[in-house]
Amino acid sequence: MKQTYKKIPMPVRYVINTLLFVAFLIVGLSLIQSGVITKYYTKVLMLIGINIILTVSLNIATGYLGQLPLGHAGFMAVGAYTAAIFMTRSGLDASVSFPIGLVLGALMAGLVGVLIGIPALRLKGDYLAIITLGFGEIIRVVLLNIDSVLGFKLTYGAASLKGIPKETNFLNTFLCVGIACLLIHTMMKSRHGRAILSVRENEIAAESCGINLTYYKVLGFAASAVFAGLAGALYAGYLGILNPSSFGFMKSIEILVMVVLGGMGSMVGSVLSATVLTAVPELLRAFSEYRMILYSLLLITVMIFKPSGLMGQYDFSLSRMLEHVFNQKPAREKTNHKAGEKNG
């Protein structure tokens, strides 16, 4: 019984996913324009998008690279402040300065990621977690107090940086989500991505196969920082006001919770858990004081009963699912599948 397993060729896979993603954007936009999704829910959607980028970005360092950085909010802060300062100072029209701000924020966070990563990644395990925590806190303290050193107002410290044009909207948030997911996905499927995975599996074995540990660790760490910076820049345009205290240790932990619950190393897990953990508390406003308690209990329970996270390392692939359906039931080709606009 030799069966030929029909495969969907690679370009078609991308076309399917792109079409679904575009369809998702169009449906979302038209629902917002027709008023089915109210302004409040649009805001929730934007927050979900930002959190998805944050979670997916931390997932590079935690899930794929196998390290435990505890200072992710620091990179987000760098991106947010870079974009915000550029947008308020450049004098350009907001529609021009926002995309530039996004790119600048991401690049700046990436640069900081490389600068922190080179010394920090010499350490392993717990010590790496501690040193990134230290760097994250230092970024926060610097943002809080840099004005007194510079002698002029740059970040406005505890008084908050105000008046950032609120340019973030549904379309550009989810375009960024799509780009981030696509870039991370393609990176992880490339030679470099496999090298990063091998570092996670066994550093010594990877090194003996000729993989430059430092290079790939810093690469993974910097990629993680770049997307965190992008999310931060979106966050700046979403809130319109920035305060260093919102990028503390707790924010880093919140992002980590999302990654861990979704499953370290699973992109679909990250996307799902970021969506659920952002949407549920927003929709259950009445129970908001129990939100954090629920969070922490969930974290402990998941760690005790399923330490690899809800999704483990499983990654959903629409094309793979379609292939499966084609090969099992050739008669019923047009089965409907919901969601899953990303992940090739």
Does 253 engage in binding with another protein (CB under 8 A)?
A: yes
Bridge partners, 161 (sequence order): 242
| CB-based burial, 149-171: b 16+ in 10 Å, e otherwise | eeeeeebbbeeebeebbebbbbe
4 contact partners, CB below 8 Å, separation of at least 6: none
Q: Does 12 bind another protein (CB under 8 A)?
A: no
By CB under 8 A, residue 127 contacts another protein: yes
Residues from 144 through 173 that contact another protein (CB under 8 A): 144-145, 148
At its nearest, how many Å lie between another protein and the CB of residue 271?
A: 20
Q: Pull the structure tokens for residue 35.
A: 């008023």
Is 142 among the residues that bind another protein (CB under 8 A)?
Answer: yes
123 lies in the binding site for another protein (CB under 8 A): yes
Q: Shortest approach of another protein to residue 251 CB, angstroms? A: 12
Could you tell me if 86 and 97 are in contact, meaning their C-beta atoms sit under 8 angstroms apart?
A: yes
CA–CA dist 193, 215 (Å, integer)? 12
Q: Is 337 in the site for another protein (CB under 8 A)?
A: no
When asked if residue 135 is in the footprint of another protein (CB under 8 A), the reply is yes
Helix (H) or strand (E) holding 115: helix 94-120
Among 3, 4, 285, 289, binds another protein (CB under 8 A): 289
Answer yes or no whether residue 260 interacts with another protein by CB under 8 A: yes
**Binding-site member from 137, 181, 235, 318 for another protein (CB under 8 A):** 137
Taking each helix axis from N to C end, the angle separating 191-201 and 213-239, rounded to the nearest 10 degrees, works out to 110
Closest to 106 in 3D by CA, of 183, 170, 32, 37: 183
* Binding interface with another protein (CB under 8 A): 68, 119, 122-123, 125-127, 129-131, 133-135, 137-138, 141-142, 144-145, 148, 204, 249-250, 253, 256-257, 260, 264, 289-290, 292-293, 295-297, 299-300, 303-304, 307
